[in-house]
Chain A
């Protein structure tokens, strides 16, 4: 902040016009403008611009909201769990397996993508985190190879998120049979030996927000992004799991720039 008597800067002129000038600079700025007419003209200009912009556009905020922007409509259209979308998604997953459901004329609704992936991921999680000698097939130190191998099998560009910032190191990964075809499975471990797994399978379900599910001591978070379904599993602590899931999501989404793989 400028000292009370220091010269007026151009930055302060902007701050003045935008109404954020601290009170103790007001006198100095006004005195300056009185003795510097060319600056006074500039400020008047900036104010006129702001007025013109508001005159031109502020009316938009007073218009009734068009139907296409009604939240109910948007949610319904984007919702992946409507009956039609779920059925269509399951048909795509099971190219063949679903005929069992249809043939028997089952009145039980077919499983959703969320149910399929979460069940499979939790089963794998519980099975493999207990393994001491063979928890994974390819160890984390061969990260690049692991990702390349699984990407090839899933025919999708995968990433093994780097979770070291939250204290989890990559134990490694393996390939699993999944409901829609091969699934990728990454295991992470914290300093006290707690294990988290990230399961990933291809899907045609639409992008979804994260969904939490827990069964006894294990919890999972499921989401879909760009044709890949993810399930992050770990101890049934919703807040903690959400934190890990967001870290994984950030790394995968590359909202943070990718860390070059050091191999």
Chain B
């Protein structure tokens, strides 16, 4: 197998992880990865070296962006329900919260945050994937973190009562 294909194959687990965090749905996530792999394999002659991983993240990110644009409605934003967030700090509850918190972010902010904290890309690499200046990546990161903080703070009734 060529080193190009090897590079692609090695990246599949990370792509699945990133895709699932981006789309929240297992089927959609793997659909996206499959489309990414198809494009990548057909575009070998258009890939002029550099980091295969970054290139694959770029393809997947763009495919997801196109997917969102072509959806009839924007993803449903989860509203915070008073009796919804459990008081207990079980791992299950925490998982749901962070998932919902991510879902209510704007796509570019969610992408930037996930690429940094989940995929471990540097700000420069994220800037290349998203096709924007590093400053823009940082402001997206900043807003994503602030919004998630606000969402998670609001989801804990205990905190609201204290206020």
Contacts and interface: CB of A to CB of B under 8 A. Distances in A.
Contacts of A209: 41-46
B134 to A, nearest CB: 10
Given A53-B98, A60-B16, A46 B145 contact: yes
A158 B152 CA distance: 51
Contact of A61 (B17, B41, B114, B148): B17
Contacts of A11: 138, 142
B20 interface: yes
Interface in A1-48: 10-11, 14-15, 18, 20, 42, 45-46
B12 interface: yes
A95 interface: no
A176 to B, nearest CB: 25
Interface in A56-77: 56-58, 60-63, 65-66, 68-69, 71, 74-75
A55 B99 CA distance: 11
Interface residues of A, number: 37
Given A68-B34, A69-B12, A56 B95 contact: yes
A60 B20 contact: yes
Interface of B is mostly: helix
Contact of B94 (A55, A57, A71): A55
Nearest to A52: B98
Contacts of A207: 42
A20 B116 CA distance: 11
B138 A53 contact: no
B148 A66 contact: no
B52 interface: no
Interface in B135-152: 138, 141-142, 145, 148-149, 152
A20 B91 CA distance: 29
Interface stretch (B64-72, B76-84, B117-125, B155-163): B117-125
B117 A54 contact: yes
A74 B34 contact: yes
Interface string B79-116: 00000000000010011011101100000000001101
A251 interface: no
Contacts of A69: 12, 16, 30, 33-34, 37
The 6 A-B residue pairs with the shortest CB-CB distance, nearest first, are A60-B17, A50-B117, A52-B98, A210-B45, A61-B13, A61-B17
Interface of B: 5, 8-9, 12-14, 16-17, 20-21, 30, 33-34, 37-38, 41-46, 91, 94-95, 97-99, 101-102, 113-114, 116-118, 122-123, 138, 141-142, 145, 148-149, 152
9 contacts: A10-B142, A14-B141, A15-B123, A53-B113, A56-B95, A60-B20, A63-B13, A68-B34, A75-B41
Given A49-B117, A56-B98, A57-B118, 15 more contacts: A49-B152, A53-B113, A55-B91, A55-B95, A58-B17, A58-B118, A60-B16, A62-B13, A71-B8, A74-B34, A209-B44, A209-B45, A209-B46, A210-B46, A246-B46
